[in-house]
Amino acid sequence: MTARILVVDDIPANVKLLEARLLAEYFDVLTADNGADALAICDTAQVDLILLDIMMPGMDGFEVCERLKANPRVSHIPVVMVTALDQPADRVRGLKAGADDFLTKPVNDLQLISRVKSLLRLKTLSDELRARADTARNLGLDDGRIGEGKGEETPQVLLVDGRANSQERIIRALKPIANVVAMSDAQAALFEAAESPFELVIVNSNFEDYDPLRLCSQLRSLERTRFLPVLLITEQGGDDMIVRALELGVNDYIVRPIDPNELVARCLTQIKRKRYNDRLRTSVQQTIELAVTDALTGLHNRRYLDNHLAILFKRSVQRSRPMSLLITDIDRFKSVNDAYGHDAGDQVLKEFAARVRASVRGADLACRFGGEEFVIVMPDTAPEVAAAVAERLRVAIESIPFILRDSGQALHVTASFGISSRQATTDGPEELLRQADRALYAAKNSGRNCIVAAAA
């Protein structure tokens, strides 16, 4: 996982120690020795996560965090406070300032890396939603009210806890901020989470004959609960469980004995983040789908591609990550319309789009470019991987006949493919498209039903 991490600490030895640990995991590292410099770096550079010391002269970590979270341009960056302070009141103050987590000095290497990777996974999701919301704004489709939503409704929280007395204490602590449904049967709780509109699941690890991480894993594997925040309650010294939980996608954890104020603060942080991402998702769906979706195939259209490709290209440059693009064209499509009519041609286009959708990966962007041409944008994808995706799609098109709905006629269809990949010399997204288009024409001239990659 490649990302850029900002380490902020006024003691050089602490900075060097964290920097060495992060560089060993192949992260890019920026450093600052005071709060003002940290804020300036966040304003001018791409930062994916901040490790922030609290005790600094001048502007302390609490104030830095508050300023970051008050700035809409950088408020989405996860902040982990790294501090010698270990009192619950300090953690609560930091969480209220907007911090996503705490690491206590001396920092445990395993917890540091696992927590960083967990928060970066969550940020990747938010980044994609924000990128799509930016595309909507660029298209003039967004009304700018992302921040609005259900802010007054009482959150619904599901507590999965094996002990009645523990359930009572947690319900009592959360009563001022949430409606809590408590269950002791983990499998019944999984069904309840999938069927009800919860905004947070709290899983207590106090079961005697059940592995709580199994429930966490199942929550992440189900489509209906994939984006539902999960908070794990663990024992002191349960580092192995914490690391494994974060790897499985658990959003946060709290260690027993539970401080009620810290529990409330962590729950509110997770609920707030979920509501923000839900609003982003809803905004994107409502403002983009009709305007930038091809009505026939259900894929994104040329209008959406032109805007979102620019965002993905810029992100690829900023993060020094690879990016590939392919254009595919149905071979001799005009003959289908001429021989069977335009309704048959539409059926072929719809089925072709379905096979495109089934062949590409979740992070890829598939669009109908126009007529019988389709474009697939592949972020974080090297040329050889893009070629493998193209070959998988080429085989999916060639190997199974297209069946016309009314006549049952089986049509054998093939497609040609052109691939381009971003190089250091690539001027912009338009050139990336042009290179793929030239490669497509080379594939057509080479006999069709083949793949050609643009020269580097």
Alpha helices by DSSP H, listed for 98-210, are 109-138, 164-174, 186-195
Active site residue 351: no
Listed residue (328, 387, 392) closest to 358, CA to CA: 392
Q: Return d(Cα 203, Cα 200) in angstroms, integer.
A: 10
Q: CB burial class (10 A; 0-12, 13-18, 19+) of residue 354?
A: middle
Catalytic residue among 25, 208, 372, 398: 372
Task: Give φ, ψ of 108 to 5 degrees.
Answer: -75, 120
Residue count of the chain:
456
User: Of the candidates 300, 279, 281, which has an alpha carbon nearest to the alpha carbon of residue 291?
Assistant: 300
What is the sign, positive or negative, of the torsion defined by CA atoms of 60, 95, 119, 424? negative
H helices of 255-341, where?
A: 260-292, 302-319, 333-340
In angstroms, rounded to a whole number, what is the distance separating the alpha carbons of residues 200 and 204? 13
Residue 78: strand pairing partners = none
Q: Are 301 and 176 contacting, i.e. CB atoms less than 8 angstroms apart?
A: no
Q: Which residues are catalytic?
A: 372
